[in-house]
Amino acid sequence: MKVLFDTSVLVAALIDSHPQFPIAFPWLLKVKHGEINGYIGTHTLAELYAVLLSLPTQRKISTTDIWRLIQQSILSVFDVIDLTKCDYRIILQSIANYNIRGGATYDALIAQAASKAKVDKLLTFNPGHFQRLYPSLAKLIEQPV
């Protein structure tokens, strides 16, 4: 099974003090153990790095520790879907037509990566964001349980 992970799920899976860690971490383990094929978009790498550095955790994590965590837990086991200039053109035209603003722009990038990779699931803790942007992917969008 091919599963594209939204940043919200990856953050929860990587930070054991995150309230959704018990739900997200088993999904990360499924990828590590080869039970499912994990995918992320290129944008997710930068977003994951930025979010992990800005989390209000008790112990601040250094930039090198975040890089090491991403390298060992994500890049070593996930397939990364590159978006092209043409992909960006399609995304930006679509979100402009639907008057999409702000952070939903980044959800559109993730949804495009899911579409491009032809995944079986898009795993997110924010299903409504994606269903609004990509109704055609609605049947693939799932919240981890």
> Are the CB atoms for 124 and 141 separated by under 8 Å?
yes
Q: CA dist 77 to 70, 114, 128, 134, Å? A: 10, 17, 27, 27
The pLDDT, as a whole number, for residue 58 is: 66
pTM of the model: 0.92
Amino acid identity, residue 82?
Answer: D
* CATH superfamily, with its number, for domain 2-142: 5'-nuclease (3.40.50.1010)
Cα atoms in the Cβ-side hemisphere of radius 13 Å centred on 69: 19
Q: Are 124 and 8 in contact (CB under 8 A)?
A: yes
Cα Dmax for the chain: 43
111: nearest Cα among 28, 26, 14, 39: 39
Higher pLDDT, 132 or 145: 145
Residue 104: both structure tokens together:
């939903």
- Give the strand pairing for 141-142 and 37-41: unpaired
- Which pLDDT tens digit goes with each residue over 17-75? 999 999 999 999 999 999 999 999 999 999 999 999 998 876 778 899 999 999 999 99
> What residue ranges do the domains of the chain occupy?
2-142
pLDDT tens readout for residues 58-117: 677 889 999 999 999 999 999 999 999 999 999 999 889 989 888 888 888 999 999 999
Length of the chain: 145
